[in-house]
């Protein structure tokens, strides 16, 4: 039998490796930014066009490369970071495997311009699909400029799997945030399609967080600091009242490298237990400094997952540190029985004696002697002298010339409502809606010919609202209520970009937007079903759901907007519904096109037939 195992050509091997390193344009951004940081840059500029599909360019003022190093940097497993296997456990740099540039060059058009500070001229290198097109000497500034164009040009199948430009830009922005937050000592600039999105000067950690997520973030932050023999923890957590329903602002950095760790995330969430709602998540920006020999970074191609030697100890330290910060800054209510109350006394009142209150009593006051009857009404005047009258005198003056009956009719009571009519109306309403009743403030039970049905009130209302919003978006006949005073809401740059993306869909259901600033959005009108106090909550939920659904295969902007509004505005479990509301909800549900399931494909109601009930009595 002939031999069937053969060595792959280099260009095929590079494309296979590129599948692990480069998943989307954001992966290229991450690798190029980390290379610029390893080069010792103090200022880094990121330029993106068409969501990274057309151009990704990173310009830094680092040390640069010689002509030989520039050529070798595109070879697989060529690196200056490690020389032997033991170096993998003492890493202080971002990249170390030497696969990033080789993988990027295999699936894109790459142009590099680099120059050492001591040299007068630099190197200009062009590569297309792992093939070197040219390498020339050129005039360039100190540092390195990497331009990646036409990503996945030679792999059309991979390019077709990329999302829209807005979605890919959002992923690029997330990677940019992760790198910029880890290195506040480096200035970053981010340009998209010719416009500047971020201009981050050199600063400290707190200022970098505020510069990225907006000025309103400053009031949310609570500092965290702890240093032990195992780990040094620093950073910030958000106050419990700013917890969100989405996992947005959650960042872990180990030795200035962004990581994902569900285990450490659970430690932070458990520290917030009891101070936030169960369905919300806290925000945090935590920086962990550990011994490089105690972690293993080389367990994932993207290096976002690490392995710790002693995870249990790290879990306990992190949890107690966050709890201590919550208590130290009076975020968590507490009782201190050992506190000295004298410390709470102002200095001006410390040596003063307590003064007993004085009560003035008029011993000559007699309500029965000070009574004066005026026009049938009893009034009391201080110091008036009238003769004693009997109790019957209180009613003197009620009679008129017309007669007692007319005078009695002319009297005005506090309430003209006849008590008996209340019970009559209630009895009539019960009779007209006796076919429905609410069970445990969660289900609506109503009868049908074959038995009865039990309806989940929340899911039923979700289905009704979902189809209504879909119709409004499609037909564009939604009714909007104008606000007397426009609302000004604060959003981060990333959240504002999402609102601009879904703005057209929101307009069709009744939202009217005014001016959009860098961090604020003006709301002039809202749908009829949305109250003014719920606008911020609804928009936050829309942004959260939109971010979570962008990676789904059935991604649809209209569908996400309709689902989110239906879920947020629907009747919740535990709300009491009147009989008329129960009947209206049942009628609206069975007028829908798909009354069987909710917008999230969950059953809305179940049917219990008469035979099912009979079988229970056998």
Flag whether pLDDT at 165 surpasses 60: yes
- Whether 466 and 587 map to the same domain: the answer is yes
8 Å CB contact between 107 and 151: yes
Flag whether pLDDT at 394 surpasses 60: no
Split into its structural domains, the chain has a count of 4
Is 431 contained in some domain? no
Choose one of 361, 383, 409: the last residue of a domain: 409
- Whether 591 and 472 map to the same domain: the answer is yes
- Whether 394 and 450 map to the same domain: the answer is no
Region 433-445 average pLDDT: 83
Choose one of 383, 409, 435: the last residue of a domain: 409
- Whether 134 and 219 map to the same domain: the answer is no
Region 67-75 average pLDDT: 88
- Whether 196 and 218 map to the same domain: the answer is no
- Whether 162 and 54 map to the same domain: the answer is yes
Alpha-carbon gap, residue 245 to 224, rounded angstroms: 23
Among 131-135, 395-399, 561-565, the range with the most confident prediction by mean pLDDT is 131-135
- The residues, ordered by sequence, that sit 6+ positions from 244 with a Cβ below 8 Å of its Cβ are 280, 281, 283, 540, 544
Alpha-carbon gap, residue 275 to 282, rounded angstroms: 10
- Whether 543 and 591 map to the same domain: the answer is yes
Among 249-258, 363-372, 409-418, the range with the most confident prediction by mean pLDDT is 249-258
Amino acid 341: pLDDT? 55
pLDDT-derived band at 249 (thresholds 50, 70, 90) equals confident
- Whether 195 and 246 map to the same domain: the answer is no
Is 339 contained in some domain? no
Flag whether pLDDT at 451 surpasses 50: yes
Region 130-134 average pLDDT: 89
Q: Which residue, among 362, 399, 401, has the nearest Cα to 380 in the 3D structure?
A: 362
- Whether 539 and 568 map to the same domain: the answer is yes
Give the rounded percent of residues in the chain with a pLDDT score beyond 70. 79
Alpha-carbon gap, residue 233 to 319, rounded angstroms: 11
Domain that holds residue 398: 371-409
Flag whether pLDDT at 421 surpasses 50: no
Residue 608 burial (C-beta neighbours within 10 Å; 0-12, 13-18, 19+): middle
Amino acid 216: pLDDT? 82
Amino acid 49: pLDDT? 95
Flag whether pLDDT at 463 surpasses 90: yes
pLDDT-derived band at 113 (thresholds 50, 70, 90) equals very high
Amino acid 340: pLDDT? 58
Is 352 contained in some domain? no
Flag whether pLDDT at 305 surpasses 50: yes
pLDDT-derived band at 87 (thresholds 50, 70, 90) equals low
- Point out the least confidently predicted range of 49-53, 90-94, 174-178: 90-94
- Point out the least confidently predicted range of 202-216, 276-290, 401-415, 432-446: 401-415
CA 50 to chain centre: 26
Flag whether pLDDT at 172 surpasses 90: yes
Which residues are registered as beta bridge partners of 191? 47, 196
Amino acid 375: pLDDT? 43
Helices (H), 197-310: 205-213, 262-271
Amino acid 369: pLDDT? 67
Is 555 contained in some domain? yes
Choose one of 131, 165, 200: the last residue of a domain: 200
Domain CATH number, residue 313:
3.30.230.10
Give 392 or 137, the one with higher predicted confidence.
137
- Point out the least confidently predicted range of 71-85, 587-601, 602-616: 71-85
Amino acid 414: pLDDT? 52
Please state, rounded to an integer, the average pLDDT across all residues of the chain: 81
Is 164 contained in some domain? yes
Region 123-145 average pLDDT: 91
Element (H, E) at 238: strand 232-238
Among 72-86, 248-262, 514-528, the range with the most confident prediction by mean pLDDT is 248-262
User: What proportions of the chain, in percent to the nearest 5, are helix, strand and coil?
Assistant: 40, 25, 40
The interaxial angle of helices 457-475 and 557-569, nearest 10 deg, is: 140
pLDDT-derived band at 533 (thresholds 50, 70, 90) equals confident
Amino acid 370: pLDDT? 53
Amino acid 109: pLDDT? 94
pLDDT digits (tens, 9 = 90+) for 478-494: 678 888 888 888 887 77
Is 255 contained in some domain? yes
Flag whether pLDDT at 500 surpasses 60: yes
Flag whether pLDDT at 381 surpasses 60: no
Flag whether pLDDT at 424 surpasses 70: no
Alpha-carbon gap, residue 542 to 561, rounded angstroms: 7
Alpha-carbon gap, residue 411 to 515, rounded angstroms: 59
Flag whether pLDDT at 14 surpasses 50: yes
Domain CATH number, residue 540:
3.30.1370.100
pLDDT-derived band at 377 (thresholds 50, 70, 90) equals very low
Is 344 contained in some domain? no
Specify the 3-state DSSP secondary structure of 522. Answer: strand
Q: Which two tokens mark 57?
A: 């360019």
pLDDT-derived band at 418 (thresholds 50, 70, 90) equals very low
Is 209 contained in some domain? no
pLDDT-derived band at 357 (thresholds 50, 70, 90) equals confident
- Whether 479 and 513 map to the same domain: the answer is yes
- Whether 65 and 196 map to the same domain: the answer is yes
- Whether 480 and 504 map to the same domain: the answer is yes
pLDDT digits (tens, 9 = 90+) for 260-304: 889 999 999 999 988 888 878 899 999 999 988 888 776 666 667
- Supply the DSSP string of 108-146, one letter for each residue: SEEEEEEE-TT-SSEEEEEEETTEEEEEEEE---SEEEE
Flag whether pLDDT at 333 surpasses 60: no
């Amino acid at each position: 039998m002939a031999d069937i195992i053969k060595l792959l050509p280099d260009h095929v091997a590079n494309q296979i490796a590129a599948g692990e390193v480069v998943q989307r344009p954001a992966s290229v951004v991450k690798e190029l930014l980390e290379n610029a940081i390893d080069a010792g840059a103090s200022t880094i500029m990121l330029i993106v066009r068409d969501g990274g599909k057309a151009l990704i360019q990173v310009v830094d003022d680092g040390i640069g490369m010689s002509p030989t190093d520039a050529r070798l940097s595109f070879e697989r497993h060529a690196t200056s970071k490690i020389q032997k296997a033991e170096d993998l456990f003492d890493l202080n740099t971002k990249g170390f495997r030497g696969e990033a540039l080789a993988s990027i060059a295999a699936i894109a058009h790459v142009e590099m311009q680099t120059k050492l500070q001591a040299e007068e001229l630099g190197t200009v290198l062009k590569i297309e699909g792992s093939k070197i097109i040219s390498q020339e000497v050129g005039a360039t500034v100190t540092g390195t400029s990497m331009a990646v164009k036409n990503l996945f040009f030679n792999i059309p199948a991979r390019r077709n799997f990329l999302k829209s430009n807005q979605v890919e830009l959002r992923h690029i922005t997330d990677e940019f945030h992760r790198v910029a937050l880890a290195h506040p000592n480096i200035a970053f600039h981010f340009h998209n399609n010719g416009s500047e999105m971020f201009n981050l000067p050199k600063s400290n950690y707190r200022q970098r967080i505020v510069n990225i997520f907006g000025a309103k973030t400053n009031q949310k932050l609570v500092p965290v600091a702890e240093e032990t023999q195992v780990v040094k923890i620093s950073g910030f957590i958000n106050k419990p009242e700013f917890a969100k329903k989405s996992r947005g602002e959650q960042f872990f950095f180990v030795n200035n490298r962004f990581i994902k760790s569900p285990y450490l995330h659970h430690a932070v969430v458990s520290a917030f237990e009891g101070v936030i709602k169960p369905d919300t998540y806290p925000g945090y920006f935590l920086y962990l400094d550990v011994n490089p020999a105690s972690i293993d970074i080389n367990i994932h191609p993207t290096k976002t997952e690490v392995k710790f030697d002693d995870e249990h100890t790290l879990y306990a330290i992190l949890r107690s540190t966050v709890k201590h910060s919550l208590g130290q800054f009076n975020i968590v209510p507490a009782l201190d029985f050992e506190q000295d109350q004298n410390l709470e006394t102002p200095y001006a009142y410390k040596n003063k004696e307590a003064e007993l209150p004085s009560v003035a009593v008029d011993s000559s006051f007699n309500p029965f002697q000070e009574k004066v009857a005026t026009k049938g009404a009893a009034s009391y005047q201080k110091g008036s002298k009238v003769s004693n009258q009997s109790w019957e005198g209180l009613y003197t003056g009620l009679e008129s010339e017309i007669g007692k009956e007319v005078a009695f009719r002319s009297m005005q009571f506090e309430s003209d409502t006849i008590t008996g009519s209340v019970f009559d109306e209630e009895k009539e309403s019960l009779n007209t809606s006796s076919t429905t009743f609410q069970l445990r403030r969660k289900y609506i039970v109503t009868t049908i010919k074959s038995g009865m049905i039990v309806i989940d009130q929340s899911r039923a209302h979700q289905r009704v609202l979902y189809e209504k919003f879909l119709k409004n978006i499609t037909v564009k006949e939604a009714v909007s209520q104008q606000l007397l005073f426009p609302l000004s809401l604060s959003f981060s740059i990333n959240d504002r970009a999402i609102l601009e993306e879904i703005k057209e869909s929101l307009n069709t259901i009744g939202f009217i937007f005014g001016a959009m600033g860098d961090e604020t959005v003006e709301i002039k009108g809202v749908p009829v079903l949305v109250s003014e106090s719920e606008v911020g909550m609804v928009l936050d939920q829309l942004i959260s759901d939109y971010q979570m659904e962008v990676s789904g295969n059935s991604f649809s902007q209209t569908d996400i907007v309709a689902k989110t509004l239906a879920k947020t505005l629907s009747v919740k479990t535990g709300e009491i519904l009147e009989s008329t509301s129960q009947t209206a909800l049942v009628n609206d549900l069975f007028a829908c096109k798909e009354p069987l399931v909710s917008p999230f494909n969950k059953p809305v109601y179940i049917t219990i037939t008469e035979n099912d009930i009979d079988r229970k009595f056998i």
